[in-house]
A and B are shown apart, each in its own frame.
Chain A
Amino acid sequence: MTGNVQMPDLKNTSSKGSKILGVSSLVGFAVLVVLAFFLTDPDIRFHPETGEEFGQFDAVRLLYIHVPLISVTYLAFVICAIASAGYLIRRTLWWDSLAHSSAEVGTLTCALVLATGSIWGRPVWNTWWEWGDVRIMSTLILFLMFLGYLALRRAFESPQRAARPAAVVALIAVLDIPLINRSVEWWGNRTLHQKSTLSEFKIEDLTLFTLMFGILISLLVMTWLILHRFRIAWLEHIEFEQGVQTAIEERRQIDTKEKQR
């Protein structure tokens, strides 16, 4: 599939564009930390009758990381599914490498979603984990399915042979995303998660700006990570292809020598 592609002489997987993207992501992330943890207000509300304080207090700051991570997790897995479908139609390594790299980045961000959600849940919901919550459980299922996807890819010696079964698994696993996204509406009585406040414009000013900025920075980080992982996956394909070609060449030389004798 890659033909006689020579391994490029690379010291690392970066380029001028990816370096700019990486620096922008890091600077943006630092600004996000300042906005989320220092400049925005804590969530403190007062009961209209008793005057008692309630809300998420400082825990709300974690949502500026948690919510953007959810967005990029969905996006990474959707890219993986599109690339998997692309591979099944076109059968090119470009699509497979894109599917593999976005699945790895998506799995990483999904793990962070579960971790940050759990840390946020402790002070706000008074629990690290809620078994009955449909959204938490369906997110966990998504994470486990993509762990299976990555395990499947690793199980094959040849990246080319892993491509098709992995594409099928990705297309099945991604069906969980609409379920997670709509779970709050469909099973309102079986979740602690609230309905979307973003789409109904219930938040505003610096809070809304920080959240949007967080989503933008997360997108930059995701793109940066996928770009580098894609280049590694591409090099892995070339390396494997070269290994096969070298083995065939060596075998031919042995056969020729044996015939000459």
Chain B
Amino acid sequence: MTDIWLIARKDLKIEMRSRVLMNQVAPFALIILVLFGIALDADQKSLRNFASGLFWISVLLCALMAIARSMTIERDEGALVGLNLSGVDPSGVFLGKACAIAIQLLVLEVFLGVGIILLYGSEVEDLWLLISTGLFACIAVSALGTIFGFLASGLGVRETLLPILLLPLLLPLLIGATRAFDDALGIAAVNGWNWFAFVAGLTVILTGVGVAANYLIVEN
């Protein structure tokens, strides 16, 4: 537990100092929301109807940036080798990095949530459903993203490889989270809590897969 906190705190401290999330990823998220608005001909009704899907696509695109950034920190000047030699438990490294990415994603989700309310005119009908789905989905994205980030790190083509590996696996999560948000934002008459249960189940499975895969990936 100490190792997890140690690694997460390290990553968050680096983020606080470099401000990549606030200066680059958050503006990127805002640009995506604006681009969707322009592409859909700025039709407020269409934007409101598609808000949950657009929100989650934006989250996934920003997550790719956050994960790539998290892995770049370790790749530069061989920091990962130092980390592996430091005696920190490998699962602690994995969970610590996943926690740091999850916290950053949560901040981004709040930012994007405010964005769709202000720009698309979305209205929140079930705040708890919104928060619960956002929290669980972001844990799943972080856990799986960290694993694939480690797999693709150290490769010259990791920026293009990471989405190919990660996004197909996150498609069921995208479907579940979007449906739950549809209900929470009053867009469609679906049982959002059922979809939340689907997202929560997937989160448990994907996080479990991430932890198990971490043991297989870590070299001796």
Contact = CB atoms under 8 A, between A and B. Distances in A.
Contact of B217 (A138, A152, A164, A175): A164
B151 A152 contact: yes
Contacts of A164: 216-217
Nearest to A88: B216
Residues of B contacting A: mostly: helix
Contact of A145 (B168, B175, B216): B168
Nearest to B219: A164
Interface stretch (A108-116, A120-128, A165-173, A227-235): A165-173
B151 A145 contact: no
Given A88-B216, A167-B216, A168-B217, A151 B164 contact: yes
B213 A168 contact: yes
A148 interface: yes
B6 interface: no
> Interface size for chain B: under 10, 10 to 19, 20 to 34, or 35 or more residues?
20 to 34
B133 to A, nearest CB: 20
A169 B147 CA distance: 10
A164 B171 CA distance: 24
A165 B162 CA distance: 13
A144 B147 CA distance: 18
A102 to B, nearest CB: 19
A155 interface: yes
Most buried by A among B157, B161, B165, B175: B165
A148 B216 contact: no
Contacts of A171: 213, 216
A144 B168 contact: yes
A169 B165 contact: yes
Contacts of B151: 152, 165, 168-169
Interface in A156-188: 156, 164-165, 167-169, 171-173, 175
A138 B169 CA distance: 10
Contacts of A67: none
A155 B152 contact: yes
B171 to A, nearest CB: 5
Given A141-B169, A155-B157, A168 B216 contact: yes
Interface of A: 88, 137-138, 141, 144-145, 147-148, 151-152, 155-156, 164-165, 167-169, 171-173, 175
Interface of B: 147, 151-152, 155-158, 161, 164-165, 167-169, 171-172, 175, 209, 213, 216-217
